[in-house]
Amino acid sequence: MQLLDGKLLSSQIKQEIAAEVTQIREQGGKIPHLVAILVGNNGASETYVASKMKNCEEVGMHSTLIRFDTSVTEDELLARVREVNDNPDMDGLIVQLPLPAHINPDKIMETINPAKDVDGFHPINIGRMAKGLPAYVSATPQGVLDMIKRYGIETSGKHCVVVGRSQIVGLPMSILMQRNTYPGNCTVTLTHSRTRNLAEICRTADILVAALGKPEFVTADMVKEGAVVIDVGLERVPDATKKSGFALKGDVKFSEVAPKTSFITPVPGGVGLMTICSLMQNTLKAARGEVY
């Protein structure tokens, strides 16, 4: 079993991004600038956004955090998104999800300029990604692809089972893994909460991507000997022995699954760190106008 070490890879990728930003600065080019909008104070969202901003600063990019109280109206939020769209100094915009129930996330995503949509959530980017056209690809699936690529894992002809059909991870992951490029060329099965015989299907996976958001859902009996297991889950589970009051768990029961695998991602220290790198890579592309 080999660990897919997100900590190691992400620090290498960050160095690469930092070197590119330094080069841009030396050549008097546009310093990439990521803007994040955060509504309310959901603990997990606070942590994610703070980490995105911190990482941008560490590689020399500019970052701006725009905060709103939960009481913000949809119209106020849309107006702020349009301001960022119109600001030529701001290259990338993310609106952290989830949003309060009175705000329609689809409306917000569709208002973001696709050329600044570094999360790759706009229908135009999802459609272009599906067609294999230049697009911003959602950061988590892109991070998983990068991980597979940098470890040189063979994917062609393999059976990839994705558990979870979220718009952000499961769905784009399934589309990307079937594309006619590396990493890809897999036979993909996209499973979800209504799937029958889920354990049986998972056992046929050469590559198993767990992205359903249920702590330690994938157990050893669901995994084939020698499979590649990618754990996208990151949930806070109450734990009185921790100072924070919670422990971070993935969707895979690591201790029992790991010994059966050829490669597996740890949680934390796996996919999560790759996601932030993808977001910064997308912001770099936005500043350079590489996609649109």
Cβ-in-10-Å burial (0-12, 13-18, 19+) of 138 comes to buried
Q: Residue 149: left if φ>0, alpha if ψ -120 to 50, beta else—which one?
A: alpha
- Residue 139 contacts ligand GUN per CB under 6 A: yes
Compute how many residues bind ligand GUN; rule: CB under 6 A.
8
**Which CB atom, from 96 or from 111, has the smaller least distance to ligand GUN?**
96
Q: How far is the CB of 167 from ligand GUN (least distance, A)?
A: 10
What are the C-alpha distances in Å from 81 to residues 13, 257, 270? 29, 43, 31
What are the C-alpha distances in Å from 187 to residues 2, 175, 184, 226? 23, 10, 9, 17
- Residue 168 contacts ligand GUN per CB under 6 A: yes
- Residue 24 contacts ligand GUN per CB under 6 A: no
Q: Is 250 annotated as a binding residue?
A: no
Q: Which of 107, 45, 53 is nearest to 76 (CA)?
A: 107
Using Cβ positions, the residue closest to ligand GUN within the complex turns out to be 97
Beta bridge partners of 238: 246
Q: How many CB atoms lie within 10 A of CB 25?
A: 12
**Which CB atom, from 46 or from 256, has the smaller least distance to ligand GUN?**
46
- Residue 10 contacts ligand GUN per CB under 6 A: no
Do 134 and 289 contact (CB within 8 A), yes or no?
A: no
**Which CB atom, from 189 or from 215, has the smaller least distance to ligand GUN?**
215
- Residue 267 contacts ligand GUN per CB under 6 A: no
Helix (H, G, I), strand (E, B) or coil at 42: coil
| Separation CA 230–CA 53 (nearest Å) | 25
Q: Is 150 annotated as a binding residue?
A: no
Instruction: Indicate the length of the chain as a whole number.
Output: 292
**Which CB atom, from 168 or from 230, has the smaller least distance to ligand GUN?**
168
Residue numbers annotated as active site: 52, 96, 119
User: Residue 32 gets which letter from DSSP?
Assistant: P
Among 20, 91, 117, 119, binds ligand GUN (CB under 6 A): 119
**Which CB atom, from 168 or from 198, has the smaller least distance to ligand GUN?**
168
| Separation CA 221–CA 50 (nearest Å) | 37
**Which CB atom, from 94 or from 177, has the smaller least distance to ligand GUN?**
94
Q: Is 166 annotated as a binding residue?
A: yes
Judged by CB under 6 A, the chain residues 59 through 118 that form the site for ligand GUN are: 94-97
HEC secondary structure over 89-144: CCCEEEECCCCCCCCCHHHHHHHCCHHHCCCCCCHHHHHHHHHCCCCCCCHHHHHH
Helix (H, G, I), strand (E, B) or coil at 12: helix
Residues that bind ligand GUN (CB under 6 A): 94-97, 119, 139-140, 168
Residue list, annotated binding site: 164-166
Residue list, annotated binding site for NADP(+): 164-166
